[in-house]
Amino acid sequence: MAYLTLKDINKIYPNGFHAVHDFNLEIEKGEFIVFVGPSGCGKSTTLRMIAGLEDISKGDFLINGKRANEMGPRERQIAMVFQSYALYPQMSVYDNLAYGLTLQGVDEDVIEEKVKKTAKILGLTDYLDRLPRALSGGQRQRVAVGRAIIRKVGIFLMDEPLSNLDAKQRVTMRSEITQIHRETGATTIYVTHDQTEAMTMADRIVVMKDGYVQQIGTPYDLYFNPVNVFVAGFIGEPPMNFVRTTLRDGCVRIFGSEFSLAPLNRPILSNYEGRELVFGFRPESIVLGQQPNAISLTATVELTEMLGDNTNVYITAGEEKAILKVEPHDTPEMDSEFTFSIPYESIYLFDAETEKVIK
């Protein structure tokens, strides 16, 4: 039996807005689940329904097989970290960490032991006497996380906890949260709009758009087997390149050249004769020059961005544009002609009408 079950969960706000449609998910004990999607897709609403901060309009939420729709937040044994740290400004770091336990009437010496242990895990030992205003953003975020993990709870919910931090702090906190999850083993649901956070932290990712779940899977699944154009474009950085093209006599026109799709060996493609397809390939899947078992193309280099570990190459051929990822020492000259190949095994095809993947 799953630890948490969300069955046909819907949220209709009092103004009639249908923010979440038929959300289904089973979460195992100890899993790290990430809800990801663009702003307004319903991820926070779903998290707040799990937390008990928002009513569930339709559907069932179960904890350990027991219906929890009507349980209050406390009864659900949930700890939550929000985007705003929500620390008590007049209390020291020690008191902020201890507060929840004090309310529960835990013994002072047990509290002290737990505060010290939590502070050690989070690198806050030297800051226990400070007030929140005398801390950096990253340190405040650690206190907020500490306040949540200090209580023994079954479920740990986080809503964009890193969004107030700078890029470097985000990377550090990302690995710290993963480490804390490993140590505490708490079932965690983490909301973000950042696909990199989702990919690096999650056991499984739930991709959402416009209130609908698009796909649920491991980072590996979502990257290699996206079910539709949205997921394919959302997961991966820079995003997958897409070219709309029509299938004629088993061939498509990409970047001004015609290619047979026969080597893909996908019999279903015969149903698409004369219809529009979306042809997709990832920036990092290309190979330099002309290659066997691949589609070879030539385009003009519009711009290059040297990032250190790789270079993004922006190319154009007529109306079509794409981004390619190459090794820094392979960076082409601006305005030059660039020849590259897309291995057949790296090609994705989608139905242009439904935007679903064609396998």
Kindly state the tokens that stand for 76.
């659900």
Indicate whether 195 belongs to the interface with ligand ATP (CB under 6 A).
no
Q: Please give the backbone phi and psi of residue 32, each rounded to the nearest 5 degrees, phi first.
A: -110, 105
Indicate whether 209 belongs to the interface with ligand ATP (CB under 6 A).
no
Is residue 162 helix, strand or coil?
coil
- Is 44 or 139 the residue whose CB approaches ligand ATP more closely? 44
Indicate whether 158 belongs to the interface with ligand ATP (CB under 6 A).
no
The answer to whether the Cα torsion of 60, 61, 67, 73 is positive or negative is: negative
C-alpha–C-alpha distance, residues 43 and 206, integer Å: 9
Q: Is 255 exposed, middle or buried (0-12, 13-18, 19+ CB in 10 A)?
A: buried
Number of residues that bind ligand ATP (CB under 6 A): 13
Indicate whether 44 belongs to the interface with ligand ATP (CB under 6 A).
yes
Give how far Cα 328 sits from Cα of 324, 331, 335, 342, Å. 12, 5, 17, 19
Rounded to a whole number of angstroms, the minimum distance from the CB of residue 147 to ligand ATP is 22
Indicate whether 39 belongs to the interface with ligand ATP (CB under 6 A).
yes
Rounded to a whole number of angstroms, the minimum distance from the CB of residue 41 to ligand ATP is 4
User: Hunting for tokens 């969960």 — which residue is that?
Assistant: 9
Residue 111: enclosing H or E segment and its boundaries? Answer: helix 108-121
Kindly state the tokens that stand for 200.
């690096």
DSSP conformation class of 356 = B
Indicate whether 55 belongs to the interface with ligand ATP (CB under 6 A).
no
Closest by Cα among 167, 143, 126, 139 to 86: 143
Indicate whether 282 belongs to the interface with ligand ATP (CB under 6 A).
no
Indicate whether 45 belongs to the interface with ligand ATP (CB under 6 A).
yes
Rounded to a whole number of angstroms, the minimum distance from the CB of residue 231 to ligand ATP is 16
- Is 37 or 283 the residue whose CB approaches ligand ATP more closely? 37
Indicate whether 336 belongs to the interface with ligand ATP (CB under 6 A).
no
Indicate whether 40 belongs to the interface with ligand ATP (CB under 6 A).
yes
Q: Is 278 exposed, middle or buried (0-12, 13-18, 19+ CB in 10 A)?
A: buried
Closest by Cα among 284, 294, 272, 253 to 358: 272
- First-to-last alpha carbon distance for the chain, in angstroms, is 32
Instruction: Return the range that interacts with ligand ATP (CB under 6 A); candidates 37-45, 99-107, 196-204, 242-250.
Output: 37-45
Site string for ligand ATP, 68-107 (x = CB under 6 A): ----------------------------------------
Rounded to a whole number of angstroms, the minimum distance from the CB of residue 84 to ligand ATP is 12
- Which residue in the set 6, 9, 33, 41 belongs to the binding site for ligand ATP (CB under 6 A)? 41
Indicate whether 147 belongs to the interface with ligand ATP (CB under 6 A).
no
- Is 34 or 323 the residue whose CB approaches ligand ATP more closely? 34
Rounded to a whole number of angstroms, the minimum distance from the CB of residue 15 to ligand ATP is 5
Indicate whether 13 belongs to the interface with ligand ATP (CB under 6 A).
yes
C-alpha–C-alpha distance, residues 275 and 222, integer Å: 26
Binding site for ligand ATP (CB under 6 A): 13, 15, 17, 19, 37, 39-45, 193
